[in-house]
Structure 1
C-alpha cells in the first residue's frame, strides 16, 4: 500500500547549493518529519493490521532545480541588512550611496530629491571627509548626517509640495493621510509600516527567486511525452517502484504533492504515463495536491496536458480521486475545481501567517488526519476490510 510524496520548489539538501538561502523560508519541508506524519496518520488507514509495512517514499528533485552560481540576489539581500562600515573606509561613490540611503529613510518621499542632492554634495566634500576622518568611528555617521541636514536647511522644498507628497506616500502604503499629526509622528507611522513589510519580505526574499528559478528549470527541461526530462524521469521511477510494491491488484497507490510537485504529478498523469506502454496498468488511486498551482498552470496552458498534441486532461483510467487543498492565506496556492477536470477543492484553515502558510500544511497534524479520512472514504479498504474496488473515474 504505497505512498509517494513529491515536494515543491526551493527544497534543497544540506550541503547543496542554495540550502543556506532557503532553509529558513522552507522550514517544514523536512522529509523525515513528513514521512513520520504520513506513517502516523495515513499508514494505519491503508493497512490497519500492519501499518509498518506501508511503503512511504518521496521524489527528491531539488538538485535538478535552479542553480545560482553567483548568488548575487542573496548576497544583495544580506548586504542591505548589514550595518554600514565606517565612512572613512568608503569610496566617494559608496559614501554617497550610503548617505543617500540613510537620509532617505529619515525623510518623507517629497524630500527625496533634495536629500539626494545634499547627500552627494556632502559625500564629495573633501574638507568634510578630512574632518570626519579625524573623529571617533562612533561619531562619523552622525556628523555626516548632520552636515546633510544642514544643507537641506539652506534649500528646503516648498512646504505645499512637501505636504502633498507626504500624503501621496501614505496613500501608496494604503494609509489615510493624517495632516493633523505632527510631521515626526507621520514619519514614525511610515517607518512602522516599512518595518512590518520588511519583516514579511525578508524571509521570502531568498525563497521567491528559487521558486521562480525552479519553475523555469522544470519547464525548460521536462521534455516531451515521448522523451521525458530528468525531473519527470524521477517521478516516473518513483511511481513505477510504488506500483511494483503493491501486494495485490486493488491495493491503493496514494500520492501527496506540495506546491510545484502538483504540476509534476499532473504532467506525469496527463502526458508521460499515457505515452509509455510500460505504464499501461499504473493508476494513482488518490492524489492530494496541497498548496499547488495546478489550477493556475492548467488555466494558463502551461501544464503539459495543455500543450498542442497532448491530452487535455488526466485519463480516468490513471487517477481515482483528485483532492486539491489550498488556503486563503497561502498566496502560492490556487483553486483547481472547475478548471482541472476531476479536481475537488478544499480551502484549508491555516494559521494566517502569509510568510509561512505555504508550507504549513506539512506541519499540521489536522491536515494529515483530514488526508487520512479522505483516503479512507475514497481509496481505503471497504467496510468489510476487503480492498475497495477501483473507481472508474474521478
Structure 2
C-alpha cells in the first residue's frame, strides 16, 4: 500500500538538514504508519518535491527587518519585542535542571515529543537510530499506560520517584524502556542516541533561559532572526503556487510534480489496497486542489492534512472546485469530492498556520494535537507520538 507525502512551505533541497530531516520523517512513517496501512518492507513512500518551483528571494532576503541594524533610523526609543521579553523575564523561572522532570511527572509521553521537537537536525546516518529509539520509547510508554490506565503518582513509573534531575531522567528512561538485549545499542559508551537526547535537553534548557532570564537585547535578535525567512518562504510559496497553478489539461509545475508521484503511487496500488496521502501545511492545499479540480478521477482512500490552510483557502474562495455561492441555506458546508474517501485534518491550536476544516467541509474530522513545541508548525512530523496516534486513527478508519 503506497504512501504519498506532500511537503509544505519553506522546504528547499539546498538548505542544511533537508535530506536528514526527510529521512527521519520517512523512518518514522515506516515505524508507525506503514505497519497499519500496508507492508513496511514493500510499501514505497512517494515524496514529491515542489519547493524548487516555489518562491525565490532575488535579493537574498535584503528586505528582512532583521537586516536593519541598531544604527539604522528609528521612530521609537524602545523595541516592542524587547519589552515583551523583558516582561517575560520577570516571571519566576523553573529549575533549569529539572524542566524535563517537571514535564515527566505530568506525562512522560510529552518528554519524548518535546525532545524530538527541540533536538538538533540529525545526520542521515543518525536518522535510523533515532527512529528506532523513538519506536522503543513510544512502545514503552504505551505499555505502561495500558498496564496502569488510571495514573497515580509513582504507580505507572515507580522509578520516577527516585529521579533527581533531567540528566538522571534521560538515563533512567532509556534503561527502563530498552529491552535488556538491546541496551548495548542505546546505552553503550559514546552512544549517538543518548548524545542526541542530551543535546536536545541542553537546547531546551537554553531556550527557557533565553525567555526567562537572558538579557533582553540579546534575546530579541535570537528570537527574531528565523521569522523573516520563514514568513518570506510562506508568502512566496503561496503566491508562487497560486500564480502558476495552471488549469485542467495544462497544470502548473507544482501541481504537475505532485500529480506525477500520485499517479505513480496509484499504479503501484494492488487491487483492493488503499492509497494514503499525508500533506503538511501548503501541501494540504495542493493535495485538495489537485484531487478536487485537476484529477477528480484519482481515488485516495485516506487524506491526512496536517497544520494546513485548506479551510482558510476555502473560506477565501481560492479553490476552483468550491462554488462561489457557498455557503448557502441549502448547503451550509462543502461536499468533498467523492474520490477522497476518508479525510482527517490535524491542527495544533498553538500553530498559527493551521486551520480547521470540519466546519467548512462535510465528511472531514478535525483532530487537535498539542505538540507543546515553541514552533508548533514544524513539530508534528518530528514527534513520535504524533505518528503513533495518527497510526491508531488510520487503523480505526480501516475497520
Quote the residue 2:175 is aligned against.
none
Task: Describe the SS at the equivalent of 1:362.
Answer: helix
Kindly report which structure 2 residues correspond to 1:1-394, keeping only aligned pairs within 5 A, or say none: 1-14=1-14, 19=15, 30-47=21-38, 50-73=39-62, 77-78=66-67, 80=69, 97=71, 197-248=220-271, 250-274=272-296, 280=297, 282-306=298-322, 313-316=335-338, 318-353=339-374, 356-379=375-398, 382=399
Question: Aligned equivalents of 2:313 and 2:64: distance in 1?
Answer: 31
Q: Is the 8 A contact 1:270 1:313 kept in 2?
A: no
Max radius of gyration: which structure?
1
Task: Describe the SS at the equivalent of 1:289.
Answer: strand
What is the CA distance between 1:234 and its match in structure 2?
Answer: 1.4
**Runs (5+) with no aligned partner, structure 1:** 82-96, 110-168, 177-188, 275-279, 383-394
Q: Which region of structure 1 is more displaced relative to structure 2, 193-202 or 236-245? A: 193-202
Question: Aligned equivalents of 2:54 and 2:78: distance in 1?
Answer: 42
Q: Is the 8 A contact 2:86 2:216 kept in 1?
A: no
Quote the residue 1:115 is aligned against.
none
Distance 1:28 1:258, change over 3 A: farther
**CA RMSD, aligned part only?**
3.3
Question: Aligned equivalents of 1:194 and 1:307: distance in 2?
Answer: 50
Question: Aligned equivalents of 1:268 and 1:359: distance in 2?
Answer: 24
What is the CA distance between 1:227 and its match in structure 2?
Answer: 2.2
Q: Is the 8 A contact 1:5 1:59 kept in 2?
A: yes
What is the CA distance between 1:192 and its match in structure 2?
Answer: 5.9
Question: Aligned equivalents of 1:290 and 1:230: distance in 2?
Answer: 23
Quote the residue 1:91 is aligned against.
none
**Runs (5+) with no aligned partner, structure 2:** 88-211, 327-333
Distance 1:68 1:54, change over 3 A: same
The structure whose RCO (Cα within 8 Å, separation 6+) is larger is 2
Distance 1:108 1:288, change over 3 A: closer
- Encode CA deviations 1:110-132: one digit per residue, 9 max, x unaligned: xxxxxxxxxxxxxxxxxxxxxxx
Question: Aligned equivalents of 2:280 and 2:12: distance in 1?
Answer: 14
Quote the residue 2:136 is aligned against.
none
Question: Aligned equivalents of 2:317 and 2:245: distance in 1?
Answer: 15
- Encode CA deviations 1:28-64: one digit per residue, 9 max, x unaligned: 99211111111111111123xx421112111110100
Q: Is the 8 A contact 1:29 1:359 kept in 2?
A: no
What is the CA distance between 1:304 and its match in structure 2?
Answer: 3.0
Q: Is the 8 A contact 2:64 2:229 kept in 1?
A: no
Report how many residues are paired. Answer: 268
What is the CA distance between 1:328 and its match in structure 2?
Answer: 1.4
Q: Is the 8 A contact 1:257 1:289 kept in 2?
A: yes
Distance 1:75 1:295, change over 3 A: closer
Q: Is the 8 A contact 1:252 1:284 kept in 2?
A: yes
What is the CA distance between 1:235 and its match in structure 2?
Answer: 1.6
Question: Aligned equivalents of 2:223 and 2:325: distance in 1?
Answer: 43
What is the CA distance between 1:80 and its match in structure 2?
Answer: 3.1
Distance 1:211 1:339, change over 3 A: same
Q: Is the 8 A contact 2:61 2:229 kept in 1?
A: no
Quote the residue 1:138 is aligned against.
none
What is the CA distance between 1:251 and its match in structure 2?
Answer: 0.5
